[in-house]
Structure 1
Amino acid sequence: MRTKRLLTAVGLLGLSALLTSGAAFAASGDGSEGGGGNGKGDRRADAGTSFRTATAIEQGQKGTADASTGDYLYWSFPADSGQRPTVKATVKLPESASGASGAKWRIDVYDGLRRRQPCMYGMQARPAAAGPVELACTLRTVRAWSDPWAADPLPGTYYVRLTATGLRTADLGQPVTAEVEATSKDIGGSAAVDGTLGAPLVPGTERSPAEPEDGWSSGWWTSRWIWTGAGGILAALAGVGGYTLTRGRRAVSSP
C-alpha cells in the first residue's frame, strides 16, 4: 500500500507541475492580439501601390496612407501557423465624398501565393461616407501544412489591399487618409496539424517582412503537449495500479 500511495503522489505532483509549466509557457509565448503592448502601434508606415511595392508592417503596427480615391493601397504582414489574423482599416473622407455616388471602400487579403483569402467574418466593404469608414476582415486560422490543391491559409506573407469600387469620374482624385492594422489570435492546439511546410510563403523582396519577431513556426508549443503528457502520466499510473492490484490478489490466493 505504501508503494501504491507513493506512486500516486509522485504522479499527481508530476501532472501538476506539467500543467503549471505548460500553461506558463503558453502564456509567455501567446501571440494573441499581435503585440499591442510593445509600442509597435505608434510606428507608422505609408502604403505601397502594388503587390511588389507593398509596405511591410508587423502585427500590431499601424500602416497609414495619404492618398486619393481611385488609388490601390497595399501593405503586407507576416502570419504564422496557429494564428487567426484580423485586419482592420479606417478610411477618412472629405464631406464632399458622401452622397449618392454608390462608391464602396473594401479590403481584400491575399496570401504569399497571391490567392485571395475569404473573410470568416467582419465588414469587408462599406459605402463611402463623410465620417470614418470602418472595415474589418478575420481570416481562417493559418495552418502549418495543407494539400497542394487546397486554398488554406499557410505561414508566410499576407497582403492587404484597400481600394474604392464603383467610383464615378467626378469621385476620382479626392483626398483620403487611411490606416490599417493587423493582429492575430493564437488558436492553440485545436488548430494543430501533422506536417509543416518546407519554407514559409515569403516573396524575395526587400519590402516584405522576413519573419515574425520570434521566428517562423514560433508557435510550436500547443495545448496538445499538455494533454499528451497528462495522458501519458495517467496511463502509467493506471498501469502501475493495475499491476499492484493484480499482484496483491495473487498473493492472497496463493497457498
Structure 2
Amino acid sequence: MRITRVLSTALLALGLAAGPAVADSSPSPGASDDGKAPTQAGTSFRTATELRQGQQATASGSTGDYLYWSFPADTGQRPTVKATVKLPATHGAQTWQIDVYDGLRRRQACQYGAASRTAGQDASSVDLACVLRTVRGWSEPWADDPLPGTYYIRLTVVDLGSADLGKSVSADVRVDSKDIGGAAAVDGSLGRPLVPGIAVKSGKEGDGSKTAVLSSFGSDDGWSSGWWSDRWVWTAIGGVLAALAGIGGYALTRGSGRPSRVPPNV
C-alpha cells in the first residue's frame, strides 16, 4: 500500500510538471499575423522589407533584381523559408535561388530543402524552400550557428539567358517556424538579439550624441533569451523517476520482516 501511494503521488507530480512543457509549445508572439502583409521587397540589406512569421508577402520585380525581406527568429525556433516565383508567359530556362543571412549578414546553410531550382521553358513558376538549423541561445564567437535576431531573405535569379533579362516577375514569400524547445537549449544566452541598426537618432540627454535605432522587431516580438526552457521540466521528471527507482529498490530488497537470529550452541 505504501508503494502504491508513492507511485500515485509521483504520477500526479509528473502530470503537473509536464503542464508547462505543453504550454511552452504554443506559437511565439512573433508568429502571429497582426498587420497587413507586405506587398513589396527591398533592394538591399538596409532596405529589406520587414516580414513577420506567418505572413504571406508578395512583391513584383524584374529578372536580375535582388529582392530582400527580413524576419525575426528566436531561440528554439527552426525557421522554414518558402518562395514561389511566377515567371513570364514566354521565357527560357532560368535558375532561381534564395539565400538566408543572420543579423551579422552571415549566410546560413539550409538544413534541407531546395534553395535553388531551374525552371524549364514550359514552367509557369518555380518553388523554393530553405529549412534553417534551430536557432541557438548562445554560440562560440568563431561558429556560424543561427542566433536569435533578425534574418534576411535574398531572392534572385542566378542563371538565365540575356533575352530574359529585365522581364517582369512576381514572388510570394512566407516564413514559418517549428518550436523545437528544450531539445535545442544550451547553457548560455546572448545579452541582446542580433538586430542590426538601420538608422540613427538623437540621444535623450540632448547632448547631440547619436544612438543606433534598432529594427522594429523588438521585445514585443517575444524574444525569449533567458534561463528558462522546458529542459528544466524534463530534468525534474528525471529526478522524480530516479527517486522512485531508489524507493522501489529499497522496498524490494529489505524483505517483509527482520531476519531471525539463532543463538549459537554452547
TM-score, length-scaled by structure 1: 0.82
Indicate yes or no: 2:103 matched with 1:112: yes
Asked whether the 8 Å contact 1:26–1:221 carries over to 2, the reply is no
The offset of 1:13, in angstroms, is 1.8
Out of 206, 227, 252, which is 2:258 matched to?
A: 252
Structure 1 or 2: more strand by fraction: 2
| Contact 1:57 1:63 (8 Å CA) reproduced | yes
SS in 2 for 1:152: coil
Higher helix share: 1
Report if aligned partners of 1:53, 1:207 keep a CA contact under 8 Å in 2.
Answer: no
Find the partner of 2:170 among 169, 177, 182: 177
Equivalences for 1:102-251 in 2 at 5 Å?
A: 102-128=93-119, 129=121, 130-205=123-198, 208-211=215-218, 214-217=221-224, 222-240=229-247
Of 61, 70, 75, the residue aligned with 2:64 is: 70
Deviations 1:27-58 (A, max 9, x none): 4x245xx84xx556962331000000000010
Measured in 1, the distance between the counterparts of 2:112 and 2:62 equals 28
Distance in 1 between the 2:127 and 2:219 partners?
A: 27
Alignment correspondent of 2:43 = 49
Corresponding residue of 1:24: 22
C-alpha separation in 1, matches of 2:89 and 2:152: 30
Whether the aligned pair in 2 keeps the contact of 1:121 and 1:138 (CA below 8 Å) is yes
Could you tell which deviates more after superposition, 237-246 or 81-90? 237-246
Distance 1:242 1:120, change over 3 A: closer
Deviations 1:87-144 (A, max 9, x none): 1111111122x22xx5311111111110111112111112245401111111111111
TM-score, normalised by the number of residues in structure 2: 0.79
Name the SS for the 2:111 alignment partner.
Answer: coil
Runs of at least 5 residues in structure 1 that lack an aligned partner in the other structure? none
- Identical counterparts, % of pairs: 59
Matched positions, count: 244
1:242–1:253 distance in 2 versus 1, CA, 3 Å: same
Aligned-partner Cα distance in 2 for 1:146–1:51: 24
Write the letter of the residue equivalent to 1:43: A
CA contact under 8 A between 1:45 and 1:57: conserved in structure 2? no
Asked which structure has the greater CA Rg, the reply is 2
Match for residue 264 of structure 2?
Answer: none
User: What RMSD in Å do the two structures reach over aligned CA positions?
Assistant: 2.9
Q: How far apart in 1 are the matches of 2:159 and 2:251? A: 77
Cα deviation, residue 209, structure 1: 4.2
Q: Kindly tell me: are residues 67 and 207 of structure 1, through their superposed partners in 2, closer, same or farther at Cα, counting changes over 3 Å?
A: farther
The one-letter amino acid paired with 2:237 is A
Aligned-partner residue type, residue 9 of structure 2: V
**Cα deviation 1:53-81 (Å, max 9, x = unaligned):** 00001001122211111111000000111
Match of 2:75 in 1: 81
Q: Which runs of 5+ in 2 are unaligned?
A: 199-212, 262-266
